[in-house]
């Protein structure tokens, strides 16, 4: 996955995506703002987007263009919904 390689290069100490620092997130936002946001690019960050959503963090604020694309694109919306189901099932429920 190209984006993960890019993230590792941006911060060699961050081997796991859940170890992302704020600086990484800002770099990621900059990357996303300059990248053309077609389905291929959305698919690349969709797992991270979903992971942020599952953690009840504001993914739409971090990835506004991804959120926008998911709202408008059936393919990406289906993929996102499937990902969320998998992640929510894998995630131990913390609020009960």
Interaction site with Zn ion (CB under 5 A): 39, 73, 75-76
Buried b / exposed e across 23-54, counting CB within 10 Å, b at 16+? eeeebbeeebeeeebeeebbbbbbbbbbbbbb
Cβ of residue 72: shortest distance to Zn ion, in angstroms? 8
41 vs 51, beta carbon nearer Zn ion: 41
Q: Are 36 and 60 in contact (CB under 8 A)?
A: no
Question: Is 25 or 73 the residue whose CB approaches Zn ion more closely?
Answer: 73
Minimum Å gap between C-beta 13 and Zn ion is 32
Cβ-based nearer residue to Zn ion, 20 or 80: 80
- The residues near 13 (Cβ < 8 Å, ≥ 6 apart) are 19
* Min separation Cβ 68 and Zn ion, Å: 11
């Amino acid at each position: 996955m190209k984006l993960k390689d890019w993230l590792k290069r941006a911060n060699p100490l961050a081997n796991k995506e859940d170890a992302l620092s704020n600086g990484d997130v800002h770099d990621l936002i900059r990357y996303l703002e300059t990248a053309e946001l077609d389905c291929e690019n959305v698919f690349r960050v969709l797992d991270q987007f979903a992971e942020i959503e599952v953690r009840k963090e504001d993914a739409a604020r971090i990835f506004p263009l991804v959120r926008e694309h998911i709202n408008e694109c059936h393919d990406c919306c289906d993929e996102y919904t499937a990902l969320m189901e998998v992640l929510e099932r894998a995630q131990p429920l913390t609020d009960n």
